Amino acid sequence: MRLLAYCLLPNHFHLVLWPHEDGDLSRWMQWLLTSHVRRYHRHYDSSGHVWQGRFKAFPIQQDDHLLAVLRYVERNPVRAKSLPVRKAERWPWSSLGNPPKDLEKPTLDAGPVRRFETWLDWVNEPQTEAELTALRDSVARGTPYGGEHWQKVTATRLGLESTLRPRGRPRTKAKK
């Protein structure tokens, strides 16, 4: 699995992954999460659920949309109100930060889209509400994140058409 960005927070984590083949993501996440649960239970001599439900994933168009997702993930500690972090690079548990000296930093894949020279400055700039809403909708619903045409084509190819439709039953027109 290719790791493009990550951010580990006290109550959740974000990974931006780039699978080699279809189906790799589910298998890899199952391995990661079950390995973590086993270690957690062994360490704390506990049992039961550690995670609340299945992981959330969505396809990302390999252009500026991918850069927006990378920025969202690496900026997460700055947005978190419970953390005293003003600069994304100051959080040691992310792809921008420096972990404690006794831990090795994971190797990141450069990915299909290059980060620009002023990447760190851009990550530290606040995102617009529209950008945050679009990203959070993709996280919540599994909607492909990209341009409108790419979204429709990708949703059709992957059987995700329902993620593009409004939730709930269609409204019926009132009878006169």
Task: Give the chain's mean pLDDT.
Answer: 92
Strands 2-8 and 13-18: antiparallel
Confidence of residue 23 (pLDDT cuts 50, 70, 90): confident
Residue 158 has pLDDT above 90, yes or no: yes
Residue 87 has pLDDT above 90, yes or no: yes
Q: What is the pLDDT of residue 167?
A: 82
What single DSSP character describes residue 160? -
175, part of any domain? no
pLDDT tens digits, one per residue of 115-147? 999 999 999 999 999 999 999 999 999 999 999
Count of structural domains within the chain: 1
What single DSSP character describes residue 118? T
173, part of any domain? no
Residues in the chain: 176
Phi, psi of 2 (to 5 degrees): -95, 125
| Cβ–Cβ under 8 Å, residues 135 and 68 | yes
Residue 176 has pLDDT above 70, yes or no: no
Task: Look at the block and give the residue holding tokens 């593009």.
Answer: 164
What predicted TM-score, i.e. pTM, was given to this entire model?
0.89
Q: What is the pLDDT of residue 72?
A: 97
176, part of any domain? no
Percent of the chain with pLDDT over 70: 99
169, part of any domain? no
CB atoms within 10 A of CB 130: 8
Residue from 70, 98, 78, 60 nearest 14 by CA = 70
Residues spanned by the domain of 7: 2-164
171, part of any domain? no
110, part of any domain? yes
| Cβ–Cβ under 8 Å, residues 7 and 73 | yes
Confidence of residue 52 (pLDDT cuts 50, 70, 90): confident
174, part of any domain? no
48, part of any domain? yes
Mean pLDDT of 78-89: 93
